[in-house]
Amino acid sequence: MLLTCENCETIFRIESAQLKTPGQQVRCSVCKHVWAPEVINEDPVEPQLIRESISVLRFPILICVAITLLLTLIGFNRGTITSYVPITINAFDMAGLTIRPDLTKLEVRNLKANYAGDTLRVSGNLANKSSLRVHAAPLQLTISDSDEVVLHTQRILPADLFIDSGDVTDFFIQIDIEKTNQAEVSVTPLAIRIDPTLSGSQ
Ligand SMILES: [Zn+2]
């Protein structure tokens, strides 16, 4: 350890084993000043080693935490990320993180069902209620009679694969089905990703 004379400020190197008793006095060989230095029991090298090993460890731990957080965020927001950058969809698929439309952000609006003879025409919009771009969803059309007996079900694909914030995509279908009075027509989004090869646009 290093010891500084409190009188002439000469610095001496001494073995820390030589200075273990509290109140032990030392004499400066330069100015002959006698004083009782503060006894340090710890080897000064040790705390430095500990500090270094902590700072070396802290860095990779922080990186691991940051990467984990980032991956978690990407995992949770992959629907949003892929709707803005569709080219990333395959990467998520390969990572086993399947992209599905978020049904809480989608809403069927302006649903219209009209018969023209025995042809039923169903149209409407699929709206994005959220503040970010989303994946559109395939729609399940269900036609049931007044006794809730299902007469017909069919899947409809909307016009677009993605819907901008606050925007809508249209859907339309016509089916040859015997006209029934009081037929109930319902259209609900499905949490299934639209196969781009089946969609009309994009
Ligand atoms: Zn001295």
Looking at residue 105, what is its pLDDT? 94
- Shared domain check, 90 and 53: yes
What residue numbers bound the domain in which 22 lies? 2-35
Looking at residue 202, what is its pLDDT? 35
Looking at residue 72, what is its pLDDT? 82
Higher per-residue confidence, 45 vs 128: 128
Number of neighbouring beta carbons within 10 Å of residue 112:
10
Q: For residue 22, is it within any domain?
A: yes
Q: For residue 175, is it within any domain?
A: yes
Given a cut of 50, whether residue 200 has pLDDT beyond it is no
CA 148 to chain CA mean position, Å: 41
CB contact set of 99 (below 8 Å; sequence gap of 6+): 78, 79, 82, 89, 92, 93, 135, 193
Q: For residue 198, is it within any domain?
A: no
Confidence band (pLDDT; 50, 70, 90) for 201?
A: very low
Structure confidence by residue, pLDDT tens digits, 165-193: 999 999 999 988 877 777 889 999 999 88
Strand 150-156, strand 139-144: pairing: antiparallel
- The three-class DSSP label of residue 73 is helix
Higher per-residue confidence, 49 vs 58: 58
The mean pLDDT value for 140-159 works out to: 90
Looking at residue 5, what is its pLDDT? 87
Looking at residue 165, what is its pLDDT? 92
- Shared domain check, 180 and 110: yes
The CATH number of the domain holding residue 137 is 2.60.40.2360
Radius of gyration of the chain (CA): 38
Q: For residue 53, is it within any domain?
A: yes
Cα 36 to ligand 1 centroid, rounded to whole Å: 13
- Shared domain check, 159 and 124: yes
Cα 34 to ligand 1 centroid, rounded to whole Å: 8
Structure confidence by residue, pLDDT tens digits, 69-100: 888 888 778 888 888 888 888 888 888 888 88
Residue 167 per-residue DSSP state: -
Cα 2 to ligand 1 centroid, rounded to whole Å: 14
- Shared domain check, 120 and 168: yes
The mean pLDDT value for 193-201 works out to: 62
Looking at residue 134, what is its pLDDT? 92
Domain count, the chain: 3
Cα 12 to ligand 1 centroid, rounded to whole Å: 10
- Shared domain check, 131 and 111: yes
Confidence band (pLDDT; 50, 70, 90) for 44?
A: low
Given a cut of 90, whether residue 125 has pLDDT beyond it is yes
- Shared domain check, 127 and 88: no
Cα 47 to ligand 1 centroid, rounded to whole Å: 28
Cα 41 to ligand 1 centroid, rounded to whole Å: 23
Backbone angles phi, psi at 159, to 5 degrees: -65, -30
Given a cut of 70, whether residue 53 has pLDDT beyond it is no
CB contact set of 196 (below 8 Å; sequence gap of 6+): 86, 161, 202
Sign of CA dihedral 192, 135, 175, 201: negative
- Shared domain check, 172 and 127: yes
Q: For residue 195, is it within any domain?
A: no
Looking at residue 124, what is its pLDDT? 95
Cα 27 to ligand 1 centroid, rounded to whole Å: 8
- Shared domain check, 174 and 147: yes
Q: For residue 8, is it within any domain?
A: yes
Rounded to the nearest integer, the mean pLDDT of the chain is 83
Cα 14 to ligand 1 centroid, rounded to whole Å: 15
Strand 150-156, strand 184-189: pairing: unpaired
Given a cut of 90, whether residue 25 has pLDDT beyond it is no
User: Which is nearest to 156 in space by CA: 118, 194, 115, 103?
Assistant: 194
- Shared domain check, 88 and 29: no
Confidence band (pLDDT; 50, 70, 90) for 36?
A: confident
- Shared domain check, 107 and 79: no
